[in-house]
Amino acid sequence: MKTKNIIVKLKSSDTTEFANSENENNLMIQLDQTDLNKMVKANLMRDLEKFNLVANNTIYDLVNFALGIYTIDQVVSRQINGFQGWSRNFIVNFPVHDLQLWNNVKEDFANYLSFLSGDKWEITFRQNHETREFELPENRNPNNFSKVSLFSGGLDSFIGVIDLLTNEEKPFLVSHYKISERKVQERLIDGLNERFGGNSFDSQKFWVQPNQKNEFAEKENSSRARSFLFITLGIAVANCLADDMELVLPENGLISLNIPLTKSRLSSHSTRTTHPYFVDGLNKTFEKLRIRNLIKNPYRFKTKGQMILECLDREFLDQHISETISCSHPENSRYQGREPGLNCGYCVPCIIRQSAENAAGDISTDYAIGDVRQEPPSPNTKKGSDYRAFKMGLAKFKSINGRHSLALQIIRAGSIPYNNIDDLNEYISVYERGMEEVRQFLNS
């Protein structure tokens, strides 16, 4: 396993260099958009300013830090640099305006990023000596937004917005998209506009694309650190609007816990984007940075089926549910001779989604593979690995006896922060109910 030594620069005027310039594992990443040989294409501060959202220095540094982390994640190949083709080792140096403040959180970020991506991160900060000119608006929230909500175009995030609007909240929706996701998000936002009115919410779509064709970049297909950037963009918008505005992270409890279905799925197969440990850790780390905007997942104790059944405008949801995308790789539908951008039907999120639709009464989404129960992919192929893992996971789940054993199973994916025994029991319960939804679907 190679250790990648990485210096992130915000501007071309930064003269920071490596102590040992001959090390082949050195990588310089510059985020300045005037650089002709860009490592990443994005202009996040400009995107914020479109809505008169002005970031203070801490938020400015946080957004650029997350942008740097996501870029590193995309331009350093696991296959080339990782232990057993997966876990990479990074030492990252980043400039910040308040060095003492950020030094208090470098170990926190290293810990939670390692948990998220399955890599080993070592974070160091250096002083940014450039003065940044900015002026916070006198009225930071003239349109009276009440919450910020992440909006991916997935089923859970769509239900989250419907529930907020039905409860007469006024949310600001934050999306991060790749090319295939933009049309999905736009169609759903058009539907929300038609149903609830254009003045009931607003939205901003951020586009960020690390340049894997850069001469110093490698191609990496996984994108574990993308969710850190997505959450950070939500926190940035929330903080620009108000010091204490809440960020809603809508995700069902089974996906959030993401308990490995088999022993072999503890690393590369086990995503941790909304895991309670990660979300709780980010809240604690942001608090140390004096950022008071909390991340909350109101659906952490609900299954996806419950989210559908208990949606506050079920009729509207049913009209648009088939337009949402929950799939891990929607572009793969073209391999079935279908148009790209469909839910595949065979990945873990798609199996949970079909189970939820089944529990709610009707599977109305058109899946690229058709009915995974009637024509399951071969268990010997990559396409069939998730279906096979669910079958094995359900067999093991059936053999688990007692709540203590269930609790031990849950913490295999990461420790669970809870305030009292009732919270722990809720996590156990949503795991049981979620797995039961999948069992009923696959056996029907």
Long-range contacts of 20-23 (CB under 8 A, 24+ apart): none
Q: What's the pLDDT at 267? A: 44
CA distance 307 to 310: 5
Q: Which runs of consecutive H residues, i.e. helices, occur in 262-374? A: 276-288, 304-309, 314-320, 348-360
Q: What's the pLDDT at 92? A: 98
Q: What's the pLDDT at 228? A: 96
Where in the chain are the domains? 3-127, 147-296, 326-442
Supply the DSSP symbol for 132. Answer: P
Q: CB count, 10 Å around CB of 228?
A: 23
CATH architecture, range 147-296:
3-Layer(aba) Sandwich (3.40)
> Given the DSSP bridges, would you call strands 120-127 and 89-96 parallel, antiparallel or unpaired?
parallel
What are the average pLDDT values for consecutive 10-residue runs of the chain, which has 444 residues?
91 89 90 69 88 95 96 93 91 97 98 95 96 91 97 97 98 87 92 96 92 87 90 98 97 92 56 90 98 98 98 98 91 73 90 97 90 87 88 90 87 87 94 96 92
From residue 231, alpha-carbon distances to 64, 79, 277, 380 in Å are 13, 27, 15, 36
Single out the residue of 54, 51, 263, 290 nearest to residue 172, CA to CA: 51
Q: Which region, left, alpha or beta, applies to residue 85 given φ > 0 means left and ψ of -120 to 50 means alpha?
A: left
Q: CB count, 10 Å around CB of 170?
A: 16
For the beta sheet containing 171-177, the strands, ordered from the edge strand earlier in sequence to the opposite edge, are 202-207, 171-177, 147-150, 247-248, 295-296
Q: Which of helix, strand or coil describes residue 83?
A: strand
Q: What's the pLDDT at 264? A: 61
Q: What's the pLDDT at 34? A: 57
Structure tokens that stand for 259 in this block: 């308990």
